[in-house]
Amino acid sequence: MRVEERERVRSGGGVGAEQVRLSRASVGDTLRVAGTVLLPTVAQGLVIRRRLVTLAGRWWQPDARAVRLMQRLRGRYGGGALLLRNPGRKWALALSTDAVRVVLADTEPYSPATVDKIAALSHFQPHGVLITRGGLRAPRRAVNEHALDADLPVHHLAASITAKITEEIAPLRDQMGGRLAWDRFATAYWRAVRRIVLGDAAHDDDELLDLLAMLRRDANWAGLRPRNDRLRQRFRQRLDAHLARREPGSLASLLPPPEPVMDPYGQVPHWLFAYDAAGATVFRTLAMLSTHPVQRLWSAADLRSGESPHRLPRLRACVLETLRLWPTTPAILRESGTPTRWDGGRLPARTSLLVYTPFFHRDDQTLPYAHRFEPARWIDANGHDEWSTVSFSAGPGRCPGRNLVLLTTTAILAALLRDREPRLLSYAKLSPDRPLPVGLDHFGLRFRLAE
């Protein structure tokens, strides 16, 4: 290796890459990863879920197949990271929590702004911090952290947020005999989200989210589908009109004035995108509380305590455990900006690194509770490991909206469950007496909230 090339090779951000094994997959194993991990994950929709594919997954259970394959690969290659033997751009797969730590503990040299992520998210948020490289990343990250109160356990607008949630969600308990399916919940949920993010004047603006959904469907195809700039402009004009009001009590009021280079308003499409996953988590948590009476009684102590809806640690733990069981971001991507030295070889620059979250959350070879609903673990600070449970990513690239999402989902559950007994009317096989499925279609969940 030439001297100048050696100087470019880094040790993985100073977090021990040289001690983490890098193996090279066989051609056969590369094809197995492509067919069992990568393609099914993309097919389900990384930016917006494809309902028909998700429905098929009830029987196919592609995530379970992927977890089993990765367990076999770890046994064959000994953990660490696995460099796939594919032509063109390089891919590597994390097979151990040590590899996850190396990849996520620093955004240099492992950038969140990967080629694939840029190709997808540019369809609707070309200036979002997740796909920002260079000097603009830090100030755009700061805009998000400030508006979302990333460093606070409870957002300072919590009282306003929970009041809006209660007004929109609580009436669902008394409509249609307390029966609740996804589409009816989603209507009320998105009214609450629009009020939280944009203010009360956005309450009925269904068209805004319809436009975003169309853009997200295009984003599922990443660079294979041309960007629809006219559609994106319509969406941004409508969004900017709401943001310009800076309605007091909304997240919009916490943004700095619009500025073309930094584009603070350009961060908001990702907030709306992320809230989609939060709604799915509410429904899955409700399914767990409907079918796990011990945990339901345990969490009900929060509702009897008389505490404000934003101070409900047991319900919050139930949400975190549901996110462990069914992570809404199955693929965390990073890209190496320079060559990095690992034990066993060098990882080339511009390698895409994949952390497949279901593997680390559902690895029953290392986690005795892998397929059980055990929310009490989240009350104990030692109940989880930062690098093995990465529902919100980890390290400096961790989702700045983590606590806001937990506040929102917990308050919604409180609004639905206070003085009500949830009963699951679908998915009869969900039970504390059998392993929980690795995939759970939230679109198909139906409940009755009985008095």
CATH number for the domain that contains residue 128: 1.10.630.10
Q: Does residue 67 carry a pLDDT above 90?
A: yes
Nearest one of 65, 103, 109, 91 to 390, comparing CA atoms: 103
- DSSP assignment of 98-124 equals HHHHHHHS-SSSEES--HHHHHHHTTT
Provide mean pLDDT across the span 211-239: 97
Residues near 138 by beta carbon (within 8 Å), at least 6 away in sequence: none
CA distance 442 to 431: 16
Of 192, 197, 189, 194, the closest CA to residue 253 belongs to 197
pLDDT (tens digit per residue) in 334-384: 999 999 999 999 999 999 999 999 999 999 999 999 999 999 999 976 556
Q: 3-class SS at 441?
A: coil
Contact 339, 346 (CB under 8 A): yes
Confidence of residue 7 (pLDDT cuts 50, 70, 90): very low
Distance CA 372, CA 369 (A): 5
- Spatial CB neighbours of 431, under 8 Å, sequence gap ≥ 6: 291
For the entire predicted model, the pTM comes to 0.94
Q: 165, 273, 155, 166: which is closest to 212 by C-alpha?
A: 273
CB 401 within 8 A of CB 26: no
Q: What is the distance between the alpha carbons of residues 317 and 113, in angstroms, rounded to a whole number?
A: 30
Is pLDDT of 10 > 70? no
Average pLDDT value for the chain: 93
Where are any strands of DSSP class E within 188-344? 331-336, 340-342
Contacts 24+ apart (CB under 8 A), 376-383: 376/295, 376/298, 376/317, 377/317, 377/321, 378/316, 378/317, 378/320, 378/321, 379/313, 379/314, 379/317
Tell me: the pLDDT tens digits for 390-406?
999 999 999 999 999 99
In total, how many domains does the chain have? 1
Residue 82 · residue 93 · CB < 8 Å: yes
58: domain range? 3-450
